[in-house]
Amino acid sequence: MVSKAREEKIKLTANLLNTAAGSSFTVGVVAPAVAVYLNLGDAAAKVPLRDLIVNVIFWAFAATMLHLSARRILDRLDE
């Protein structure tokens, strides 16, 4: 059985990773897509579509891996 202190540390670590996942998605996927869509700072002309797609795929993958890591850490509570 996991002690209460250990349980809270596990939850805190999972929360940290999940927050990092959300931030990565927002900064790496949403922000660039919105900037290009709204053409902020002439982003549509400065950022090639290929680069935007590669960026979105990379950051979406990174965010997914961080989120799945958080879920895996929470599985330790079942031990």
Domain boundaries, the chain: 4-78
21 close to 68: Cβ distance less than 8 angstroms:
no
Q: Is pLDDT larger for residue 2 or for residue 60?
A: 60
Which of 16-21's residues contact partners 24+ apart within 8 Å by CB, and which partners?
A: 16/70, 17/66, 17/67, 17/69, 17/70, 17/73, 18/66, 18/67, 18/70, 20/66, 21/62, 21/63, 21/64, 21/65, 21/66, 21/67, 21/70
Model-level pTM? 0.87
Model confidence pLDDT, tens digit, residues 31-66: 999 999 999 999 999 999 999 999 999 999 999 999
pLDDT tens across 6-19, in order?
999 999 999 999 99
